[in-house]
């Protein structure tokens, strides 16, 4: 298998999944609940392909609603007021934190479904169980400061931040650590700063 095969196929699968989510979002904005067949047609894929990525239309629509609510990097950093990576990362975390709070029950359902789908997926091992929304935002936050880090350190930092920012962190703070919202935000700000400082060394 060539390098193009190993990188191209996963990228294509991620694009297909994203196309389905965006198609669902467009149809939902018409004020109705689309059928899976309609979403597949809008995304220019077959019904069978849509079923490979989502077990049913409800799972697809739940996740598509998050695509609508998830902030975009262009909107977050449009003012260009700061190039500081910590400040920019805190802006990403704050925006996602608010989105998560507003959609917590549905996000927990989506998280549970993605964990279930991860069991016994040998036949579809290459299919992404979830859309990676946080990494593009983290990368955008770090972009102005990327020269401050070695390439390997920047990659590790981006991955480490993905553990701190997102739904899973919310579950840990609430269910495991039993922290209130203010304390959770404080811990995340500390972790973001510590990770950036560690990556600079």
Question: How would you write the pLDDT of the chain (201 residues) with one tens digit per residue?
Answer: 454 444 566 778 888 988 998 898 888 888 888 999 999 999 999 999 998 888 888 888 877 877 777 788 888 898 877 899 999 999 999 999 998 888 888 788 778 877 777 776 544 555 666 678 899 999 999 999 999 999 999 999 999 999 999 999 999 999 999 999 999 999 999 999 999 999 998
Q: Please give the model's pTM, rounded to 2 decimal places.
A: 0.73
Nearest to 24 by CA among 79, 55, 51, 62: 62
Q: How far is 43 from 31, CA to CA, in rounded Å?
A: 18
**Cα–Cα distance for residue pair 58/73, rounded to 1 Å:** 27
pLDDT at position 6 is: 46
Question: Per-residue pLDDT tens for 73-108?
Answer: 888 898 877 899 999 999 999 999 998 888 888 788
Q: Alpha-carbon torsion 194, 172, 10, 24, what sign?
A: negative
Q: Which CATH architecture does the domain made up of 1-69 adopt?
A: Orthogonal Bundle (1.10)
**Do the beta carbons of residue 126 and residue 9 sit within 8 Å?**
yes
């Amino acid at each position: 298998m060539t390098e193009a095969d190993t990188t191209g196929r996963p990228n294509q699968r991620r694009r297909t999944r994203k196309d389905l989510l965006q198609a669902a979002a467009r149809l939902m904005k018409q004020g109705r609940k689309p059928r899976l067949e309609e979403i597949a047609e809008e995304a220019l894929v077959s019904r069978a392909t849509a079923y490979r990525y989502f077990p049913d239309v409800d799972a697809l629509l739940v996740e598509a609603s998050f695509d609508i609510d998830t902030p975009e990097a262009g909107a977050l950093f449009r003012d260009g007021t700061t190039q500081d990576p910590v400040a920019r990362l805190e802006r990403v975390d704050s925006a996602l934190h608010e989105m998560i709070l507003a959609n917590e029950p549905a996000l927990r359902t989506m998280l549970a479904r993605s964990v279930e789908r991860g069991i016994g997926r040998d036949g579809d091992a290459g299919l992404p169980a979830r859309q990676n929304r946080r990494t593009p935002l983290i990368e955008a936050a770090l972009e102005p400061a990327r020269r401050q880090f070695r390439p390997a350190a920047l990659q590790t930092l981006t991955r480490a931040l993905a553990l701190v920012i997102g739904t899973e962190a919310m579950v840990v703070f609430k269910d495991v650590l039993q922290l209130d919202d203010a304390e959770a935000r404080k811990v995340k700000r500390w972790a973001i700063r510590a990770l950036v400082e560690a990556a600079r060394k």
